[in-house]
């Protein structure tokens, strides 16, 4: 599985990528939307894990841009500011309840990623 992680908290996103790598999941990361789009120009990802609130380009807008470029990509949103409005917005965007509150439990994240991949394999 190849994953794109986007969060403006450098320490968090780099550590998350490292922890996924230790579990055999290839993870690239970016701290802003522009860098994430640049990575998406060069790579194909199965899943993107996006912080809801990143500078300049929100996580929701970044999702729209990435989806336009890579329509098969699946999305999980995460936030440290877990409001009910954020949850509803993210769920409406993804069509699924893929929303995690920071600090993200690595096992929960991996489970969500696997569920999204399996669900897409089942759909015709």
- pLDDT tens digits, 19-71: 999 999 999 999 999 999 999 999 999 999 999 888 889 888 999 999 999 99
Q: Is residue 110 domain-resident?
A: no
Q: What is the Cα–Cα distance from 94 to 107, expressed in whole angstroms?
A: 21
Expressed as residue numbers, the domain containing 98 is: 2-104
Q: Is residue 49 domain-resident?
A: yes
Overall number of domains in the chain: 1
Beta strands in 14-84 (DSSP E): 26-30, 47-51, 74-79
Whose structure tokens read 């809801």?
A: 52
The domain that holds 58 is classified in CATH as 3.40.50.2300
Pairing type for strands 26-30 and 99-101 reads unpaired
Q: Is residue 44 domain-resident?
A: yes
Q: Is residue 120 domain-resident?
A: no
Q: pTM for this structure?
A: 0.87
- pLDDT tens digits, 70-79: 999 999 988 8
């Amino acid at each position: 599985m190849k994953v794109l992680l986007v969060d403006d908290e450098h320490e968090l996103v780099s550590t998350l990528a490292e922890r996924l790598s230790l579990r055999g999941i290839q993870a690239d990361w970016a701290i802003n939307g522009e860098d994430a789009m640049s990575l998406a120009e060069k790579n194909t990802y199965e899943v993107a894990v996006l912080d809801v609130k990143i500078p300049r380009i929100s996580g929701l807008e970044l999702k729209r841009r990435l989806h336009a470029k890579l329509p098969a990509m699946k999305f999980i949103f995460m936030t440290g500011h877990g409001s009910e409005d954020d949850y509803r917005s993210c769920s409406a965007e993804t069509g699924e309840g893929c929303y995690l509150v920071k600090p993200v439990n690595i096992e929960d994240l991996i489970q969500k990623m696997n569920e999204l991949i399996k669900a897409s394999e089942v759909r015709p």
